[in-house]
A and B are shown apart, each in its own frame.
Chain A
């Protein structure tokens, strides 16, 4: 009868191409309580020079989840550290030591036996660092699409021949950890809504046009 079948009795079920729900906790500070209520892949980023205590959810037999933990964008500051309540690590009484490199990522998987959580980890994945800058576009006399790269020591390089529509009074920001985007702007008094993506090596791509406001 439809609606009354207990799916827990199903065995040897084949699941193909499934996706787990994700939750992004953003930057965490001194303490955070983990929950699987909103997803089983949880993202968090540490705060520099801060010990974050991760309180585990109640231990329930068979529960599992993954935490993707990103080190703080520390710059020259001290890395953040992480401790976990009620977790047993490999090589008991082993400990998990968070990767300390700026923006490095650790992947931690947890499974519960109903009493404890058991942690498995792989550490120090590269996640990119945005340590350079780019100036672009603007108006010397007429509008321009020249760019100038800035090294990670603040040295501005000579002009790079422009890509994309020359314009001024635009805006720019970083995205994707180590890339950037120029967007919008004016040519004469007319607003435009195109964008230009910048790769993680500072290469500007051709125009992308959007229907948003200018």
Chain B
């Protein structure tokens, strides 16, 4: 599954695998209370990623349905998920996403046939751009979050082995080279801004 902030202070969990692959979502209030299931919109898939964009909206993207996917689903500033948007960029799963700049997002890394370091930038209107050649060690099952004044960070995951490498993202969406990891190597983790 994946999650992202939307609105001014709320969040949404969505999609994933609950013995079957689902597209349902759960909204989170500005006090951290999770609401009941909302019937899913869009193609059910798992191992996707999500991030905020446009100041108050969110985007779910990529993942694995019956095959690797590059579909995206936009989330309004009231938490309403829109139908599938035909994918842009290389379909992959086990990627991560984060907001960067003031109002944009980035999807990055994941696994295609092999681990990848491709990234795809998302405009402040939710439009996904074509693949950007990867920087840093290709890996999957990593996490990402925004930090600072418009920056983002990808971290941890699996290259050929489990790692704690991180890659910083500038406020223009440019991914930096590997930064030696700190902390215990791990994968299948999550990250968020606070």
The residue on A at minimum CB distance from B155 is A135
Contact across chains for B194 and A27 when beta carbons are under 8 A apart: no
Verify A180–B55 contact, CB threshold 8 A.
Answer: no
Q: Which residues of A contact B108 (CB under 8 A)?
A: none
Contact A135 B162 (CB under 8 A): no
Q: Cβ of A154 and Cβ of B147 under 8 Å apart? A: yes
Interface string of A121-161 (1 = CB under 8 A from B): 00000000011111111111100101010111110111100
* Given A75-B150, A135-B189, A171-B13, A180 contacting B194 (CB threshold 8 A): yes
Tell whether A212 is near chain B: CB-to-CB under 8 Å: yes
The interface stretch among A11-19, A43-51, A88-96, A112-120 is A43-51
> Cβ of A148 and Cβ of B182 under 8 Å apart?
yes
- Using Cβ atoms and an 8 Å threshold, which residues of chain A touch B190? 135-138, 170-172, 182, 185
Interface centre among B2, B149, B190 (most CB of A within 10 A): B190
Contact across chains for B17 and A191 when beta carbons are under 8 A apart: yes
A194 CB to nearest B CB, Å: 10
- Residue A177 is within 8 A (CB to CB) of chain B in the complex: yes
| Residues on A with beta carbons closer than 8 Å to the beta carbon of B187 | 138-139, 168
Residues 10-45 of B at the A interface (beta carbon under 8 Å): 10-13, 16-19, 22, 24, 26, 28-32, 34-37
A134–B145 contact, CB under 8 A? yes
Number of A-B contacts (CB under 8 A): 246
User: Which of A30-38, A54-62, A195-203 is near enough to bind chain B?
Assistant: A195-203
Q: Which residues of A contact B162 (CB under 8 A)?
A: 139-141
Interface size on B, residues (CB 8 A): 71
Contacts of B143 in A (CB 8 A): 135, 138, 172
Q: How far is the CA of A135 from the CA of B162 in the complex (A)?
A: 15
- CB-CB under 8 A from B110, the residues of chain A are none
B16–A136 CB distance below 8 A: no
B184 near A195: Cβ-Cβ < 8 Å? no
CB pair B1–A171 under 8 Å, yes or no, is: yes
Find out whether the CB atom of B186 lies under 8 angstroms from the CB atom of A139: yes
Q: Which of A138, A212, A214 is B34 in contact with, Cβ under 8 Å?
A: A212
Whole-angstrom distance from the CB of B87 to the nearest CB of chain A?
A: 20
Count, chain A residues at interface, CB 8 A:
71
Contact B171 A171 (CB under 8 A): no
A70 within 8 A of B: yes
When the two chains form their complex, are residues B183 and A159 in contact, meaning their CB atoms are under 8 A apart?
A: yes
B28 with A181: CB separation less than 8 A: yes
Q: Complex formed: what's the CA distance from A74 to B102 in Å?
A: 5
Contacts A135-B191, A154-B153, A173-B3; A70 near B8 (Cβ below 8 A): yes
Specify which chain B residues have a CB less than 8 angstroms from the CB of A66 in the assembled complex: none
Provide the bound-state CA to CA distance between A64 and B7, in Å: 26
* Binary contact readout B153-165 vs A (1 if CB under 8 angstroms, 0 otherwise): 1011000001010
Chain B residue nearest to A171 (CB atoms) is B3
Interchain CA distance A181-B26 in the complex, whole Å: 13
Chain B residues within 8 Å of A47, by CB: 55, 103
Question: Once the chains are docked, how many angstroms separate the CA of A152 from the CA of B168?
Answer: 12
Q: Are A168 and B50 in contact (CB under 8 A)?
A: no
The listed residue with most B CB atoms (<10 A of its CB), out of A102, A154, A208, is A154
Q: Whole-angstrom distance from the CB of B45 to the nearest CB of chain A?
A: 13
Could you list which residues of chain B lie within 8 angstroms of chain A, going by C-beta atoms?
1-5, 7-13, 16-19, 22, 24, 26, 28-32, 34-37, 47, 50, 52, 54-56, 77-78, 101-103, 141, 143, 145-151, 153, 155-156, 162, 164, 166, 168, 171, 179, 181-194
7 pairs, CB–CB < 8 Å, chain A vs chain B: A45-B8, A75-B148, A133-B147, A169-B47, A173-B12, A183-B28, A213-B37
